[in-house]
Amino acid sequence: MKSLFLFLIAILIYPVQAQDHQESDSVRNMLIITCHPDDWELSMAGTAYLLKDKYNIHVIIASDGERGNSKEPDPEVAALRVGHAMKSAEKINAQNHFFRMMDGEIYADEDAVQRTVKLMEDLDPALIFLHWPIDKPDHAAASAMAMMALSKTGMMYNREIYFFEVGLLNHFTPEVFVDVTPVWEIKKEVVQIHERFNDDRYERMAERSSLYHGRTNRCKYAEGFIPLFPFSNVRYKNRIGCSLLDL
């Protein structure tokens, strides 16, 4: 009788254990919160490519970039840039989430924050990237939108979160570097998707930044990031590692 009892207990417990193991082994979500088509590509395309097999990548794009070529909104430019964003997303197996906010008029208002909160709650991302806030107004607003959503969801305190820069920005001193030399040609391909001025200005912009960070990191090309909080063995009773160091 005792053996039968133990056998029945084992049958009841095993499926629960198997389910827990399956959930822990499942691929987690990663979220990049960006302002325009081309922002993450210029700043962290190499890192995103290195992460694509480790995470399901999602990208919030606040604006379609209708003012990318002129001061006045241009629907044709917006359509072109959305097409570019779709192509570059394919390179990292990412899913885009377009917020359709007007280029040049991005605000971290209640609607934008709540849409970000909803998506965060749906995705439950383990790894999050957002704009460095000391930047032009649109980028700063997208960063504020992300920070408000992180605060409202509570994810600010128990997720791995990094700031990225687009170009070389003021007061942006990376604390984590990713050597992207082995995937530099892939990053170039991703950046070149967004060239729309019949020149190589985006490629040169990405190369200047990556070479600069590469010199600091003692490699040829690197991308730099700043974690939201300093790394610690335990923070708010949570253990949060640095997955970028495993790339």
Residue 5 domain-assigned (yes or no): no
Sign of the Cα pseudo-torsion (100, 106, 107, 113, in order)? positive
pLDDT tier at 6, thresholds 50, 70, 90: very low
Q: What is the pLDDT of residue 167?
A: 84
pLDDT at 189 > cutoff 60: yes
pLDDT tier at 139, thresholds 50, 70, 90: very high
Structure-token pair, residue 25: 């082994």
- pLDDT digit string, tens, across residues 72-107: 888 999 999 999 999 999 999 999 999 999 999 999
Find the CATH number of the domain harbouring 234.
3.40.50.10320
| Mean pLDDT taken over the chain | 88
Residue 185 domain-assigned (yes or no): yes
Residue 4 domain-assigned (yes or no): no
Residue 132 domain-assigned (yes or no): yes
Residue 72 domain-assigned (yes or no): yes
CA distance 224 to 222: 7
Residue 21 domain-assigned (yes or no): no
Instruction: Write out the residue range of the structural domain in which residue 236 sits.
Output: 28-246
Residue 240 domain-assigned (yes or no): yes
- pLDDT digit string, tens, across residues 24-78: 458 899 999 999 999 999 999 999 999 999 999 999 999 999 898 778 888 999 9
pLDDT at 11 > cutoff 50: no
Q: What is the pLDDT of residue 25?
A: 53
Tally of domains in the chain: 1
Least Cα distance to 171 among 135, 203, 146, 205 occurs for 135
Q: What is the pLDDT of residue 138?
A: 96
Cβ partners under 8 Å of residue 236, min gap 6:
157, 158
Biggest alpha carbon–alpha carbon distance for the chain: 82
**Range with the poorest average pLDDT among 44-48, 106-110, 226-230, 233-237:** 233-237
pLDDT at 183 > cutoff 90: yes
Residue 152 domain-assigned (yes or no): yes
